[in-house]
Amino acid sequence: MTDPAAPPWQIVPLAERPDLVMPLAEALWQFWHPVFPGKTVDVRAASLRARTNRDRVPVAVVAVAPDGLALGTASILLDDMETRPDLNPWLATVFVMPGQRGRGLGGALCAAAEAAAWRLGVPRLHLFTFDKRGYYAGLGWQDLETVDYAGRPTAIMVKDRPA
Ligand SMILES: CC(C)(COP(=O)(O)OP(=O)(O)OC[C@H]1O[C@@H](n2cnc3c(N)ncnc32)[C@H](O)[C@@H]1OP(=O)(O)O)[C@@H](O)C(=O)NCCC(=O)NCCS
């Protein structure tokens, strides 16, 4: 019997659903191309494919609806901010499909990606955000610095592996 309290999605490694790389790449391009015009759909698809690992960084997770469609994604990456190679690895590409937001999926995707990092022995994660500082603070992330990046004031935040 289906558990009525279970969330209406499953979060799995992207390695389990490589067929979802293209729809995710298209959605990521749609949302971010004004900021990162060089990251075309093909570039994003290649980058997502490189994250279809289970036992090493880079690694991506995907949220899947009961009908099999992709609802969102999150990744653990190396060198997400090329101006800060001293900070690694990063929580990155946190994305929930428009129309699916505001019901905890973003938080669940972050938690799943973070759990993958802790499992792989990562002691500290970083992220950068232009406009979601408050959102990540609510998920337990702490401020590290504010920098200029891609022409915008950008918060760098950190989270340590739980003791
Ligand atoms: C950011 C994003 C992943 C959140 O996904 P989501 O599934 O809507 O997130 P959740 O349901 O877990 O959390 C939503 C909550 O965060 C809050 N929130 C959203 N943006 C916020 C912000 N900038 N500051 C503070 N709180 C914020 C919402 O008000 C909501 O609060 P509520 O639950 O009290 O109503 C989603 O909006 C998204 O994909 N945005 C586009 C891509 C993006 O900006 N990614 C982050 C890059 S750094």
Contacts for 81-89 with beta carbons within 8 Å, 24 or more apart?
A: 81/128, 81/149, 81/156, 83/147, 83/149, 84/147, 84/156, 87/126, 87/144, 87/156, 88/126, 89/57, 89/58, 89/117, 89/122, 89/125, 89/126
Pocket test for ligand 1, best of 24, 28, 132, 159 (most atoms within 8 A of CB): 132
Whether residue 72 is predicted with pLDDT greater than 80 in this model: the reply is: yes
Whether residue 17 is predicted with pLDDT greater than 90 in this model: the reply is: yes
Query: Residue 68 gets which letter from DSSP?
Result: S
Contacts for 98 with CB less than 8 Å, ≥ 6 apart:
31
User: Using 50, 70 and 90 to split pLDDT, how confident is the model at 150?
Assistant: confident
Domains of the chain (ranges, CATH numbers): 10-160 (3.40.630.30)
| Full DSSP string of 104-155 | SHHHHHHHHHHHHHHHTT--EEEEEESS-HHHHHHTT-EEEEEEEETTEEEE
Handedness of CA 123, 108, 13, 37 (dihedral sign): negative
> Is the minimum distance from the CB of 134 to ligand 1 under 6 angstroms?
yes
Q: pTM to 2 decimals?
A: 0.95
Q: Please give the share of the chain, as a percent, with pLDDT higher than 90.
A: 92
Whether residue 1 is predicted with pLDDT greater than 70 in this model: the reply is: no
> Is the minimum distance from the CB of 61 to ligand 1 under 6 angstroms?
no
Pocket test for ligand 1, best of 71, 94, 127, 135 (most atoms within 8 A of CB): 135
> Is the minimum distance from the CB of 20 to ligand 1 under 6 angstroms?
no
